[in-house]
Amino acid sequence: MYNKIAVIGDKDSVLAFKSVGAEVFDSSTADETRALIKKLSQGGYAVIFVAENLAEQIPDTLAKCKTVTFPAVVPIPTTEKSSGLGMQGIKNDVEKAIGVDIIFNK
Amino acid sequence: MNVNPTRMEMKRLQQRLKTASRGHKLLKDKTDEMIRRFIAVAEENKRLREETEKELASALVSFAQARANTDSRVVEEAILMPSRALKITTSSRKIMGINVPSIEVEDNGGELYPYSFLTVTEQLDNAVRGLNAVVIKLIKLAETEKACNMLAEEIEKNKRRVNALENIMIPQLTETIKYIKMKLDESERSATVRLMKVKDMLN
């Protein structure tokens, strides 16, 4: 049963999520993150939030997670300014499905 | 296709062509419907992401300020044991035959601020309040984004199927059927000619 939520990122930026009851995992390198995602996806986590700066480094792992129902791996910005990775993800999906980007060009 | 030009083979191929065209039509309709749904999901996804990114950023800024204002160990201690647990229940629902996750958040009604107000500053309160609000949206975002991902994947697959049927299977079958038909006609003609010749010889 998938009923847990995890947040992966460097210690300083994800600590805040502890206060709302999510489980927080430290990671600062791509390899660590990869291993964590692999472990967590077998551990009953429904949603895994990954800090954008880490998510950027592991596009292959994210792509692999896209094909299964659980867990949902979602990149989130952990600094004031978002790097736009999440938006890029939506854009890619739209392009993949429709061929041209009709949502962002409005 | 390499086939024997027999009537039976032709019948078989005609049946296959019929199935293929029907499948092609059905798959094409499926793609259209999936794209329609996908656009709605993608727009929702974009809207949610814009909102959450903004709110999350402001909550995190408050949190950073809180840590800067007080001893960061105090802050860590304050939020170490949250009294609210994020309870979620998950199930899957189907969009056009694809299993997408559906996540429900349950509020267990725990104390929002699991610390004493004596040691920490107002910024931490703001951060915690902000995060609490945004985390529910984040989960909604996760759900939508997943649906978006999976739909996109499925649409791509489906398009491939439609193309394969339209550009390879159906032309190939039509071609082969035509070839068999011509062969059969040809042999029929030669049989007639042979008969005429034989009749001539007999007379």
Most confident of A11-15, B65-69, B120-124, B157-161: B157-161
Q: How many separate domains does chain B show?
A: 1
- B60 interface with A at CB cutoff 8 Å: yes
Chain A environment of B153 (Cβ under 8 Å): 66-67, 96
Is there a contact between B80 and A18 if contact means CB atoms under 8 Å apart?
Answer: yes
Residue B83 has pLDDT above 70, yes or no: no
Q: Which residues pair with A72 in a beta bridge?
A: A47
Tokens of B105: 């958040």
> What CATH number is associated with residue B114?
1.10.287.3240
Chain B environment of A100 (Cβ under 8 Å): none
Most confident of B1-15, B41-55, B90-104, B189-203: B189-203
Enumerate the domain spans of chain A. Answer: 4-80
Is there a contact between A18 and B79 if contact means CB atoms under 8 Å apart?
Answer: yes
Mean pLDDT value across chain B? 86
Q: Which helix (H) or strand (E) holds A9?
A: strand A4-9
Whether B14 is in a domain gets the answer: yes
**Percent of the residues in chain B that have a pLDDT greater than 70, as a whole number:** 92
Is there a contact between B88 and A46 if contact means CB atoms under 8 Å apart?
Answer: yes
**Higher pLDDT among residues B186 and A103, named by residue:** B186
Residue A19 has pLDDT above 70, yes or no: yes
The pLDDT of residue B112 is 67
Neighbours of B144 (CB within 10 A): 24
The pLDDT of residue B139 is 86
For B159, the closest chain A residue by CA position comes to A97
Cα separation, A84 vs B101, in Å, equals 24
Tokens of B28: 């094409």
Cα separation, A70 vs A45, in Å, equals 8
Whether B115 is in a domain gets the answer: yes
Cα separation, A94 vs B153, in Å, equals 10
**Does residue B142 contact residue B136 with C-beta atoms inside 8 Å?**
no
Whether B201 is in a domain gets the answer: no
CATH 3.40.50.10580 fits A4-80, yes or no: yes
pLDDT tens-digit map of A20-64 = 778 888 888 888 888 888 888 888 888 888 888 888 888 888 888
- Stated pTM of the model: 0.82
**What's the gap in Å between the CA of B158 and the closest CA on chain A?**
10
Residue B111 has pLDDT above 70, yes or no: no
Whether B181 is in a domain gets the answer: yes
Is there a contact between A96 and B155 if contact means CB atoms under 8 Å apart?
Answer: yes
Chain B residues 3-32 with CB within 8 Å of chain A: none
Q: Which helix (H) or strand (E) holds B181?
A: helix B170-202
Is there a contact between A20 and B132 if contact means CB atoms under 8 Å apart?
Answer: yes
Lowest mean pLDDT among B57-71, B98-112, B179-193: B98-112
Residue B179 has pLDDT above 90, yes or no: yes
| Partner residue facing B49 (CB), from A22, A90, A94 | A90
**What's the gap in Å between the CA of A40 and the closest CA on chain B?**
16
- A83 interface with B at CB cutoff 8 Å: no
- A106 interface with B at CB cutoff 8 Å: no
The pLDDT of residue A1 is 67
Q: What are phi and psi of B90, to 5 degrees?
A: -120, 150
Whether B202 is in a domain gets the answer: no
Tokens of B139: 């989960």
Q: Which domain holds residue B22?
A: 7-196
Residue A106 has pLDDT above 60, yes or no: no
